[in-house]
Amino acid sequence: MTQYPELTVTVNHRPVRWEEIKHWKARRAATVLQLLKDHDQTLRLNNQPLPQQTFYQLSDDDLIAAAKDTKLALTPNQIEDLLQNDLQQSDAMWHRFMEQTPANAPLKAIHVQFDLAGITPEVLTQVNLDQLQGTGFREHAFDLHPEHYLFSQEGNVQDVIETFGEYGLPTHFHLVMLDPHTHKLPEAINPNTKKVIFGKGLLASDGFDTHQYALHQFMPNATGDGLHIDLGIFTPAGMDDAALIGHQQHFAIEFASMFTKILDQLHASVS
């Protein structure tokens, strides 16, 4: 039996539960640990170095925790310096995607669907979201996905280093949050939508427009007793398909991690 029966996520037209998503999260944590190890960083768990720098026998929970602890032992500047060459390679990848994109080609699109039974906007107002953010944006971002390496926000711009779609190396993005009422959207909004999050990604190094957009729609579910969330990602036609498919899992991990925290808080309030 799943730990969170209220939560269903649909990825590649298949419903998945938290336990499977958590295993995806642990697998990506292992990728992060390997990258940091390859950069000669000390791997840590519970504020202690991992013996022999090995992590292959860790549980899913410990893999996730070790990725977070190892990154928290580094400052944002240290992480950015550490990944400098990797980020340059990723920048070149995004330029290649655009070079491979024919003029006026339509964007590629892919979606992840979330359904939360019994969770309405009114119920969410009972949640203290400040408690979900730990000591700040950075730690909160590490909680949501192991492949977040840097996260901060100023105004409507998020400064993020993450691996896009589990593809290649980390990329340093400036994710610009846009007003969906005044900017052209990559697809029409569902008429039942109550809240929209819309943004686009630029390379932090040179401001290069990656033509990558996120469009997230929050609406009541079909029966009116829960939430339905449509997470959309739109990319240039020249992007490799594997990256786009992989970003479905990235969204599934990121948002499921957030909603399970919300469900934990709601469960505690009624126990």
Which CATH number belongs to the domain containing residue 197 in this structure?
Answer: 3.30.530.20
Tokens linked to 146: 């192991």
Q: Is residue 1 part of a domain?
A: no
Contact partners, residue 33, CB within 8 Å, separation at least 6: 43, 55, 63, 66, 67, 70
What is the signed CA dihedral for 185, 188, 193, 195, rounded to 10 degrees? 0
Q: Tokens 């969330």 map to which residue?
A: 229
Q: Is residue 125 part of a domain?
A: yes
Q: Is residue 12 part of a domain?
A: yes
Total number of domains constituting the chain: 1
Cα 269 from Cα 266, distance rounded (Å): 5
Cα 115 from Cα 8, distance rounded (Å): 5
Give tens-digit pLDDT for 104-130.
Answer: 999 999 999 999 998 876 666 555 544
Cα Dmax for the chain = 57
pLDDT at 123: 66
Contact partners, residue 217, CB within 8 Å, separation at least 6: 189, 190, 193, 195, 196, 229, 230, 232
Give tens-digit pLDDT for 8-41.
Answer: 999 999 999 999 999 999 999 999 999 999 999 9
Q: What backbone phi and psi angles, to 5 degrees, belong to 110? A: -150, 150
- What is the percentage of the chain residues whose pLDDT exceeds 70? 94
pLDDT at 15: 96
pLDDT at 120: 73
- What is the arithmetic mean of pLDDT over 257-264? 91
Does the structure show a pLDDT above 70 at 174?
A: yes
Give tens-digit pLDDT for 60-91.
Answer: 999 999 999 999 999 999 999 999 999 999 99
Q: Is residue 2 part of a domain?
A: no
Q: Which residues of 136-153 are buried (b: 16+ CB within 10 A; e: fewer)?
A: ebbebbbbbbbbbbbbee
Structural domain of 104: 7-270
Secondary structure of residue 172 in the 3-state scheme:
strand
Does the structure show a pLDDT above 60 at 232?
A: yes
User: What's this model's pTM, rounded to 2 decimal places?
Assistant: 0.93
